[in-house]
Amino acid sequence: MRRGMRSLALQVQQSFGRDPFAGDLYIFRGRRGDLCKIIWHDGVGMSLYAKRLERGKYIWPSAVDGVIAISPSQMACMLEAIDWRNPQATWRPTLAG
């Protein structure tokens, strides 16, 4: 994925009909599934975040009309390469008796 901030913001406007300067986060994934880029406008300027996984791929939800909405916790899991559809707890509470 060779696109930068400007071309991704333009894609948000033209392809999705949305305003990239409204403060929403827009996440894009590369073809191989190991790279994602996030753009957002914080009221002062446009920012770009990019992350490439050393191993594995991002689990990507199915999109309807090219756009999906996910919760902040789903996004956090996705960025850590955790299967956000079925997260597993790493600890179990003990029963006090």
DSSP one-letter code for 61: P
Is pTM, for the whole model, over 0.85? no
pLDDT, averaged across the chain: 86
> pLDDT at residue 97 above 70?
no
Q: How distant, in Å, are the alpha carbons of 7, 19, 52, 79 from that of 14? A: 10, 9, 26, 26
Instruction: Show me where the domains of the chain are located.
Output: 5-79
> Which neighbouring-strand residues pair with 28?
37
Q: What are phi and psi of 72, to 5 degrees?
A: -60, -35
Mean pLDDT of 24-46: 93
The pLDDT of residue 79? 85
Kindly tell me if the per-residue pLDDT of 24 is higher than 80.
yes
CA distances from 32 to 35, 44, 58, 76 (A): 7, 32, 9, 20
